[in-house]
C-alpha cells in the first residue's frame, strides 16, 4: 500500500512516439491513449521506474512534436525516450540514461562485407534517408550516401543490391527490415556511434515526484534490473 503522502502526489502524464521497438502501439494504431496499448523497450523501462517510484502515471503515444510541446510546457508531464542536447537540457529534467541508440552499418543477409572504420566504408554505397541526422552526418564526412525519402525501403534496396550498406540503429534496423519486407538475418557490419536515451520530465514537476523517479532509476540501475531488461531485447 502506498504511503499517504505518496497517494497525495500529482499524477504524471507521459508521452512517447511511434519508434519500434523502443516505443510502439500494441495494436498497430498510430496513436494510443493508455499504457496498456503501448509497448517496447523504453516503455517497459519507464513503466518499471514509475512503478518502483510508486508514482501514479498515464501514458499517451502521439507524434513527437505534440508530446514535446506538451511535456515542455506543463508541470508533471514527461517525454520518452529522448536524446540530450543543450536545448533539451534547458527544457527538461533528465532521468537516465535508460538505453542507447547504437548507430550501425548493416549489410544484406549472407553478405561477407567487412569494414573496421567509417573510412573503410567510403568505398561502399550506403543507404540513408532524407532529413535523418546520421545520414547527413555521414554525408558531411564524405561517405557515399544514397538517400531516399522513406527509410523502410532501404532493407529491400540492400537485398536487391542497389546499395551495399544501410545506416540504422542496431535494434530498430532488423525490426524495420523484418516488418517491412520479411527480411531477417541482417548483418551488422560496423557499430560506429552510440546516443544515450532519457526520460525527460518537465522541470516544474512536483519535486517529490522528481526525487522519487530519480531514486527509482538509481535503484533499478544498481540492482541490475535495467541491464536485464535491455539485454532482453538483444542489446
* Residue whose C-alpha cell is 534496396: 157
Query: Going residue by residue through the chain (235 aa), what tens digit of pLDDT does each one get?
Result: 344 445 588 999 999 988 889 999 998 788 899 999 999 999 999 999 999 999 999 999 998 889 999 999 999 999 999 988 888 899 999 999 999 999 999 999 999 999 999 999 999 999 999 878 789 889 999 999 999 988 889 999 999 999 999 999 999 999 889 988 999 999 999 999 999 999 999 999 999 999 999 999 999 999 999 999 999 987 7
Q: Are 54 and 43 in a shared domain?
A: yes
Domain membership flag for residue 5: no
Domain membership flag for residue 46: yes
Q: Are 28 and 66 in a shared domain?
A: yes
Q: Are 93 and 199 in a shared domain?
A: yes
- Check: CB of residue 143 under 8 Å from CB of residue 121: yes
CATH number of the domain that 132 lies in?
Answer: 3.40.190.10
pLDDT number for residue 130: 87
Q: Are 48 and 158 in a shared domain?
A: no
Q: What cell does 1 get?
A: 500500500
Domain membership flag for residue 200: yes
pLDDT number for residue 7: 54
Q: Are 50 and 134 in a shared domain?
A: no
pLDDT number for residue 22: 95
pLDDT number for residue 49: 98
User: 21: which residues sit within 8 A by CB, 6+ positions away?
Assistant: 40, 41, 171, 172, 175, 233
Backbone angle region of 177, left / alpha / beta, with phi > 0 → left and psi within -120 to 50 → alpha: alpha
Domain membership flag for residue 110: yes
pLDDT number for residue 188: 97
Alpha carbon distance, N-terminus to C-terminus of the chain: 35
Q: Are 210 and 181 in a shared domain?
A: no
pLDDT number for residue 1: 38
Q: Are 206 and 154 in a shared domain?
A: no
Domain membership flag for residue 19: yes
Q: Are 21 and 44 in a shared domain?
A: yes
- Residue ranges making up the domain that contains 20: 10-99+195-231
Q: Are 137 and 209 in a shared domain?
A: no
Q: Are 75 and 129 in a shared domain?
A: no
pLDDT number for residue 133: 78
- Domains: count for the chain: 2
Q: Are 81 and 111 in a shared domain?
A: no
- The helix or strand, by DSSP H or E, that contains position 65, with its residue range, turns out to be helix 64-73
pLDDT number for residue 4: 44
Amino acid at each position: 500500500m502506498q504511503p499517504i503522502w505518496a497517494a497525495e502526489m500529482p499524477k504524471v502524464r507521459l508521452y512517447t512516439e511511434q519508434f519500434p521497438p523502443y516505443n510502439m502501439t500494441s495494436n498497430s494504431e498510430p496513436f494510443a491513449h493508455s499504457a496498456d496499448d503501448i509497448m517496447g523497450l523504453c516503455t517497459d523501462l519507464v513503466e518499471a521506474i514509475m512503478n518502483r517510484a510508486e508514482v501514479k502515471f498515464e501514458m499517451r503515444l502521439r507524434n513527437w512534436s505534440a508530446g514535446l510541446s506538451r511535456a515542455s510546457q506543463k508541470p508533471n508531464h514527461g517525454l520518452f525516450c529522448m536524446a540530450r542536447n543543450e536545448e533539451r537540457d534547458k527544457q527538461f529534467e533528465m532521468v537516465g540514461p535508460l538505453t542507447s541508440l547504437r548507430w550501425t552499418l548493416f549489410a544484406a543477409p549472407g553478405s561477407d562485407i567487412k569494414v573496421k572504420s567509417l573510412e573503410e566504408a567510403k568505398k561502399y554505397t550506403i543507404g540513408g534517408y532524407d532529413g535523418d541526422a546520421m545520414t547527413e552526418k555521414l554525408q558531411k564526412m564524405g561517405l557515399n550516401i544514397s538517400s531516399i525519402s522513406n527509410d523502410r525501403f532501404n532493407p529491400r534496396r540492400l537485398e536487391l543490391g542497389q546499395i551495399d550498406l544501410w545506416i540504422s540503429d542496431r535494434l530498430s534496423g532488423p525490426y524495420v527490415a523484418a516488418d517491412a519486407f520479411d527480411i531477417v538475418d541482417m548483418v551488422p557490419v560496423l557499430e560506429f556511434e552510440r546516443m544515450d536515451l532519457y526520460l525527460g520530465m518537465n522541470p516544474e514537476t512536483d519535486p517529490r515526484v522528481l526525487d522519487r523517479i530519480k531514486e527509482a532509476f538509481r535503484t533499478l540501475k544498481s540492482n541490475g534490473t535495467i541491464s536485464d531488461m535491455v539485454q532482453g531485447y538483444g542489446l
